[in-house]
């Protein structure tokens, strides 16, 4: 068992409660995006992607279209 789970007694929580905790943790991280470390390589990749979008904003697909394509593929 992971040390943090044992330290905080999280192994006693139901799966539903652990999922709720994960969601709350994620929301707390997302609330302070400037505190999330980003490596130089990640910064460069983000800049490359932003530049590509600015050069050709119609090259990509909206999320709803991507999701529909993925869901329509046979498994």
What confidence score (pLDDT) does residue 52 get? 95
Give CA 63 to chain center in angstroms. 14
Max CA pair span of the chain: 52
What confidence score (pLDDT) does residue 73 get? 80
- Do 13 and 21 form a contact (C-beta atoms < 8 A)? yes
Mean pLDDT of the chain: 93
Per-residue pLDDT 10s for the chain (75 aa) are 889 888 989 999 999 999 999 999 999 999 999 999 999 999 999 999 999 999 999 998 999 999 999 999 876
| Alpha helix ranges (H) inside 1-75 | 3-8, 15-30, 40-55, 63-72
């Amino acid at each position: 068992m992971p040390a943090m789970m044992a330290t905080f007694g999280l192994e006693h929580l139901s799966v539903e409660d652990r999922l709720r905790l994960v969601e709350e943790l994620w929301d707390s991280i997302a609330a302070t995006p400037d505190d999330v470390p980003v490596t130089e390589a990640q910064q460069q990749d983000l800049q490359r992607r932003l530049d590509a979008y600015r050069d050709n904003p119609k090259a990509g697909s909206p999320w709803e279209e991507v999701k529909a394509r993925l869901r329509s593929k046979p498994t």
